[in-house]
Each structure stands twice: as C-alpha cells, then as structure tokens.
Amino acid sequence: MGFPYYTTTTLEDLITKWYKIHNFTKPTDLSVHNIGMENQILVKCRPTQASYMKVGKFREIVLDSRLPRIHQREQFFHELCHALRHAGRQLIMPKDFYDLQERDARHFTLYASLPYHMIKEYTLSDPEIINVWSRDFNIPLDVCQARLEKIKRRPIVPIKTIL
C-alpha cells in the first residue's frame, strides 16, 4: 500500500515545491548545511539549546552539539520553520501565540524532514517502514512514527473521475 487516496496539505505542497526547485529529490539531499545555504542561514553546532537568531541580514540556526546527529537534524527542521515562517521573539510574545508557533514548527518538522515527494516512493504497509524512514532520512523513530500517524489520520478524499 502506497498513498492511494492521500491528499497533501498546503504546507506539504509548499515544502515539496521548494525542495524540487532546489533539486532536493532524495533523502541524502536533505543536508542541514545545504538547506541552510539555500536559505542563506548559517548552521552551527554548540553545546547549548537549539535556537534561531536573526540580526539584520545575518541569520543563524544553532543546534545542540551534545545531542546525537539524528536529534540535531530534528532540531534543525524545527528551527528552520521559525526562520522561514515566524516573526517575533518567543521570549516576550503571548503564550497562545508562542504555542501556535510551536505547533506549526512541529508540523513543519514532520513534513520537511520526511517530505511527501520522497516518502511516497515507500510502501506504507511495510512493517519496518518506521525503521526504514529513520535510517534513510536520519530522523528519530518517534518523528517517523508521528509522520506515519498523520498520514493515516488524514481524511480520505476520493479522486473524482472526469468523464
């Protein structure tokens, strides 16, 4: 079973379009430094909490060097969402707005780390799909599990036949 009736979200479509424009077509293309360069964002690792910072035209994502690379990649996609889609300083914004940005970043992380145009090539019924995605995309198992659950929960929209 692949994705027979799955309809993508607008966010998934935007991510896929950007990846295709920049020729990111397979999991090995999803290098944090390449994606950062394409977005003019410097990516650094330091022994501190992950963050995104913008000062003038300078933009930087910091990943926690104390964590394994697989978790740094998850952090990268989360922080990339803040860089591309959000404004304001989270430390001083209202809690509801902060929560909304964090929720958006979680969705973005699922879609950007396991983009539809790449994962649609896999067989969802494979009992090892979570492990395969984790290995191929270098993303933690819980992120892969959440992505699969999101696919399964998405409403099925039958494709209309044009006569």
Q: For residue range 49-79, list pLDDT tens digits in order.
A: 999 998 889 999 999 999 999 999 999 999 9
How many other β-carbons are positioned within 10 Å of the β-carbon of residue 6? 16
CA–CA dist 25, 101 (Å, integer): 28
Q: What are the tens digits of pLDDT across the range 124-163?
A: 889 999 999 999 999 999 999 999 999 888 766 555 544 4
- State yes or no: pLDDT of 10 exceeds 50: yes
pTM, entire model: 0.87
Q: Given strand 51-55, what is the order of strands in its sheet? A: 42-46, 58-64, 51-55
Q: What are the tens digits of pLDDT across the range 40-51?
A: 999 999 999 999
Paired residues of 145 in beta bridges: none
CA–CA dist 119, 99 (Å, integer): 28
DSSP state of 92: T
Question: What is the pLDDT at residue 154?
Answer: 75
- Structural domain spans, the chain: 10-153
